[in-house]
Structure 1
């Protein structure tokens, strides 16, 4: 496989936009004293990326916390309320890449995630696939929910939240 910087090259950098129709951002967390796993997705999100010839990638992904869907409406409303995502007061979750490197089929680096005005650094490892018109990034991160001020006692969610992404981007002029 040719490495990402050669396959995406042109002069300087290539610009990309997230295609929500072919992308997915999902999450899962243990709850009810660890007896159950809650799974869900963000249904509305957008983003962009710039891939430089040296294999570095910068970009931003924004998610609408009111679009959380676990398949259980009561749970969705609970996640959107002030105790967790507080979508009424904080209508955007933002992930901004930092120091992300693409090297062949792998990506490594870190990003900054902001939920409810609380930011945390998130280490990233994942896979990349690139061709002339599509860039696909996939990977997962485990977050400590206490860093966002979320409760972990009394049967609420456990301390770890796993976020998984399969993000397809299309070349943008």
Structure 2
């Protein structure tokens, strides 16, 4: 007489691109904050299986917006995101428990075709019908081969802080 295995819970939430966004802050000369983002561009899903969540999201690199067209074109260039050759930026996080409060995890980021891991903090909120996940982290530019010209490299700080606000609907 064997024991019945516990049922595996499984659910998928699709990312609502219109309500999700990714923002970032970089510093110039250690003091001037440059803020921007990828508004309304996230796509992907969050999946619940075996009481843990995993999620994957992508944004279109060409949608970067800092509010200054000339800077945005420069950030899309090969010197920074190389959006013409690498059209998406991807993030994947696995093994998140579905509980309140801030959780720590590791995100796998792919930018310019280069993949690296980044420690992140995650906040989850929402009822069963939808979820909101706030993912915060700090990326080192050199880890994804964003090494601009020597002059830009001197004035743009190495670290970029990012926040992904991922809002879902029932899938």
TM-score (norm 1): 0.85
C-alpha distance in 2 between matches for 1:111 and 1:88: 24
Equivalent of 1:148, from 144, 147, 164?
144
Task: Please report how far the alpha carbon of residue 98 of structure 1 lies from its aligned counterpart in structure 2 after TM superposition.
Answer: 2.8
Residue ranges of structure 2 left out of the alignment (5+ in a row): 1-6
State the 4+ residue runs in structure 1 displaced beyond 4 angstroms: none
Greater Rg by CA? 2
C-alpha distance in 1 between matches for 2:124 and 2:141: 27
Q: Is the 8 A contact 2:54 2:95 kept in 1?
A: yes
2:165 aligned partner: 166
1:124 aligned partner: 120
1:5 aligned partner: none
Q: Is the 8 A contact 1:65 1:93 kept in 2?
A: yes
C-alpha distance in 2 between matches for 1:98 and 1:134: 18
C-alpha distance in 2 between matches for 1:100 and 1:154: 40
Deviations 1:64-105 (A, max 9, x none): 000000000001001000011000000111112233333233
Q: Is the 8 A contact 1:99 1:110 kept in 2?
A: no
C-alpha distance in 2 between matches for 1:143 and 1:40: 15
- Provide the aligned C-alpha RMSD in A: 1.8
Q: Is the 8 A contact 1:23 1:168 kept in 2?
A: yes
Q: In 2 relative to 1, CA 80–118 (structure 1 residues): closer, same or farther, beyond 3 Å?
A: same
Task: Please report how far the alpha carbon of residue 45 of structure 1 lies from its aligned counterpart in structure 2 after TM superposition.
Answer: 2.1
1:136 is the counterpart of 2:132: yes
The 5-angstrom pairing of residues 94-109 of structure 1 reads 94-109=90-105
1:48 aligned partner: 45
Instruction: Determine helix, strand or coil for the equivalent of 2:157.
Output: coil
2:83 aligned partner: 87
C-alpha distance in 2 between matches for 1:115 and 1:161: 13
C-alpha distance in 2 between matches for 1:90 and 1:29: 21
Q: Is the 8 A contact 1:151 1:157 kept in 2?
A: no
Count residues with an aligned counterpart: 161
Q: Is the 8 A contact 2:21 2:166 kept in 1?
A: yes
C-alpha distance in 2 between matches for 1:17 and 1:68: 22
Instruction: Determine helix, strand or coil for the equivalent of 2:142.
Output: helix
